[in-house]
Chains A and B, each alone.
Chain A
Amino acid sequence: QSVLTQPPSASGTPGQRVTISCSGSSSNIKNNYVNWYQQFPGTAPKLLIQSNNQRPSGVPDRFSGSKSGTSASLAISGLRSEDEADYYCATWDDSVSGPVFGGGTKLTVL
């Protein structure tokens, strides 16, 4: 059971906009920055969004992040087949004094 709650799956067609939610609590998301990771099968996760809405160098602007209260969202616009991957949210949790992850969302491009 992950501390942060994500839907196990999401899907969309090429060109569509999809969002993936991440729900937490006052001990984690509400008072800390949220980060998002993209993971392809057999590879390490890649930092996609940091500090709620900042894209590291090289990440396309099709990816965006937002946060409100105890929830956060990752949005992918202009969906492409190569976006098919697992997506994880992560943040600091004051209760455990460490980072916590969501359970991951498998994105399928139909």
Chain B
Amino acid sequence: QVQLQESGPGLVKPSETLSLTCTVSGDSVTGQSWVWIRQPPGMGLEWIGFLSYTGVTNYNSSLKSRVTMSLDTSKNHFTLKLSSVTAADTAVYFCARRLGSYSAIFDYWGQGALVTVSS
């Protein structure tokens, strides 16, 4: 059974960096592609970026200048960093496993982590 769990601060100050970790169990991060998706309160889903097992990343162009994703194979987790946050970055952040190439198939999801940007 594949499981993902997000962790990180639930409150971040404006202009600071949001950092989240997604810990994977039941699968190896070296064998798949992984993604971060966010959902502002009461709104729809937005893709942030994905990270392949080879370490290759692809970020949403609207966030690209502020996003960094990385893989830690020793801990079987991957991370998200979003810099210079504003209130518009307040959202529930989900990590998920992505199947295939050129796909939007996300078969396993974490429960989500609410991150609020506020001073």
Contact A88 B44 (CB under 8 A): yes
User: A100 at interface (Cβ–Cβ under 8 A)?
Assistant: yes
Residues in chain A near residue B45, CB distance under 8 A: 37, 45, 88, 90, 101, 104
Q: For chain B residues 42-71, which have a beta carbon within 8 Å of chain A?
A: 44-47, 49-50, 58, 60-61
Stretch with Cβ within 8 A of B (4 or more), from A9-17, A46-54, A76-84: A46-54
Contact A43 B104 (CB under 8 A): no
Kindly state the separation between the CA atoms of A56 and B111 in the bound complex, as whole angstroms: 19
Residues in chain B near residue A65, CB distance under 8 A: none
Q: Mark A43-78, 1 if CB is under 8 A from B, else 0.
A: 111110011000010000000000000000000000
Contact A103 B44 (CB under 8 A): yes
Residues in chain B near residue A103, CB distance under 8 A: 44
A85 smallest CB distance to B (angstroms): 14
Q: A43-B111, A44-B111 are in contact. Are A97 and B58 (CB under 8 A)?
A: yes
Q: Mark A95-107, 1 if CB is under 8 A from B, else 0.
A: 0111111111000
User: B103 at interface (Cβ–Cβ under 8 A)?
Assistant: yes
Contact A90 B104 (CB under 8 A): yes
Residues in chain A near residue B47, CB distance under 8 A: 98-101
Kindly state the separation between the CA atoms of A106 and B35 in the bound complex, as whole angstroms: 24
Q: Which residues of A contact B (CB under 8 A)?
A: 2, 32-33, 35, 37, 43-47, 50-51, 56, 88, 90-92, 96-104
User: Would you give 12 A-B contacts (Cβ < 8 Å), ordered by A?
Assistant: A33-B104, A35-B106, A37-B106, A43-B112, A44-B109, A44-B111, A45-B109, A50-B99, A90-B45, A99-B103, A101-B44, A101-B46
